[in-house]
Structure 1
Amino acid sequence: MALNDTLVVFADGNPIDVLRSYPVLDKPATRGLVERLFPGARAEEIGDELLVDALNPPADVVCVGCFAGLDLVCGWGLTPRRPSELDPIVLKASSRRNVYLHAAHGDAGWCCYGVWRDGTRLRARCVCADPGIAEDEGEPLGFEAGGDPDDLPCAAMQGLFGFACDDHDRLDDVDPELIPVVVYRISTAS
């Protein structure tokens, strides 16, 4: 799996449980989520993809999946430099109780992730090659303990969403090759 990714997940409970069940896509709901995330913009549906191919979309594209108990979106235009800078529009785009953010850029040595519950930020962490830790707020999550900083992007992806980043697939891993999303091109309305 690529180490360049941007993913925001809105979930009623644990996103791993929902994703592991390979939920059925609610395609009409994806349009509503895109419209809430990009008010006033034009969203053109341009196809379907699997989540594994949607994690690192082009700049003007978002990939959206809406399922029972979970909504997700991949889009660099939504990704903040630090989790604490996540736009309130994104946080309020879904009525789900929990919001999870994961973004990484392997070439830049940058990874950030955050967790919100009922609108309150519980964890925000941003690590980059220089200056090192750019943000570290809230209680550390289980996957952070004793880990190698170089493995942080994969550890965070596994811990938050159950995706394996390497060839060592566990039987309980979520398989993003089996989760469908809808692809939209976003442009400013004229």
Structure 2
Amino acid sequence: MGAKTWMIAYVDSGTKLVDVFSASPQLDREASSKLAMELFPGMKLVPDADGYLSYTCPPRKQVFAGCYPGVSVVAASQLGIDYPSKLPATYLSAARGRDIYFLAMHSVVDWFAFAIWSSGKLTRSLSLSPDSKVLEDIGEHLPFEAPYWSGQRKVDSDDDEPYPLPFRPLELGEVALFHFFGYSLEGGPGNDLPDEPRFDADSIVLAGFRGSKPWWKIW
């Protein structure tokens, strides 16, 4: 399947995602349903098979949502956007004062993007791929990004043309996923990630929904 994800997390101030997930939290299905319906008002959502935090790249017409103490996570294809700073207002207003963590990546095109909003303000946003290069780079680089921008994760290319970025986006994406959420999909380069995740992402249940627009609308 490769490394693919498109998700957003709403986190109470002072709460760490990894601490919540490491405690094997109980899914609040009612709250999860309400959040999914709030974010996708144009879809007629009905319960579907559950998903897991290890799989946050549901196809179109499917949504995963999980509400836990202090943390809410939503995964949907609509979140696979190139410019995180242009995230629709619906997603931002759902935070209600909580911090927002956005993360998306797709291994087929080696694209990765992430963003953070704190107290309603965008503090960091990055989106890049080898074809499009740097699409967005807003705010100061975070400490875990340093080895990548400084050339320590330079890509050795066998092609005549050098790799167009100072690192592979998916490698930084795995590190960002671990840094914010506490797990990774396919691991990262060198010693950037520990050998073992903080928790089993397969054990964190997300409520599943599938939806369709009314018959008088066209997809």
For normalisation by structure 1, the TM-score amounts to 0.91
1:166-185 matches, cutoff 5 A? 166=186, 170-171=195-196, 173-185=198-210
> C-alpha separation between the residues in 2 aligned to 1:96 and 1:48?
28
Distance 2:97 2:32 in 1: 14
Matched residue, 1:155: 175
Please state whether the residue corresponding to 2:35 is helix, strand or coil: helix
Residue of structure 2 in register with 1:6 after alignment: 6
User: Which structure is richer in relative contact order (CA contacts within 8 A, separation 6 or more)?
Assistant: 1
In structure 2, how many angstroms separate the alpha carbons of the residues matched to 1:166 and 1:38? Answer: 30
Larger Rg belongs to: 2
Q: 1:154 to 1:178 in 2, by over 3 A?
A: same
- Tell me, what secondary structure is at the counterpart of 1:107? coil
| Cα separation, 1, equivalents of 2:209 and 2:143 | 34
Which of residues 177, 187, 190 is equivalent to 2:212?
187
Deviation at 1:93, TM superposition (A): 1.8
Conserved 8 A contact 1:123-1:138 = yes
Q: What per-residue deviation string (whole Å, max 9, x for no partner) do you get for residues 109-166 of structure 1?
A: 1100000012100100001112311110011122211133221111111111111333
1:11 counterpart letter in structure 2: V
- SS of equivalent residue, structure 1 residue 108: coil
1:9-88 → structure 2 map (5 Å cutoff): 9-12=9-12, 13-53=15-55, 55-88=56-89
- Which consecutive aligned stretches of 4+ in structure 1 deviate over 6 angstroms post-superposition? none
> How far 1:82 moved relative to its partner?
1.3
Deviation at 1:177, TM superposition (A): 0.8
Q: Deviations over 1:59-118 (max 9, x none)?
A: 111111000100001101133211111111011124351100000011111100000012
Residue 18 of structure 1 aligns with an amino acid whose one-letter code is V
Contact 2:97–2:120 (8 Å) recurs in 1? no
Q: Tell me the equivalent position of 2:140.
A: 139
Shift of 1:45: 0.7
- Do the aligned residues in 1 keep the contact of 2:183 with 2:197 (CA within 8 Å)? no
Distance of 2:196 and 2:97 partners within structure 1: 28
Gaps of 5+ in 1: none
How far apart in 2 are the matches of 1:136 and 1:106? 20
- Separation in structure 1 between the aligned mates of residue 10 and residue 53 of structure 2, nearest angstrom: 15
Deviation per CA, 1:29-48: give whole Å up to 9, x if none.
01110111012421111121
Q: CA deviation at 1:172?
A: 5.3
Compute the displacement of 1:186 (Å).
Answer: 2.2
CA 172–104 in structure 1, closer or farther in 2 if over 3 Å, else same: closer
Structure 2 CA distance for aligned equivalents of residues 19 and 2 of structure 1: 23
Aligned length: 189
Please state which structure has a larger fraction of its residues in strand: 1
Measured on the aligned residues, the alpha-carbon RMSD in Å equals 1.8
Change (3 A) 1:186 1:142: farther
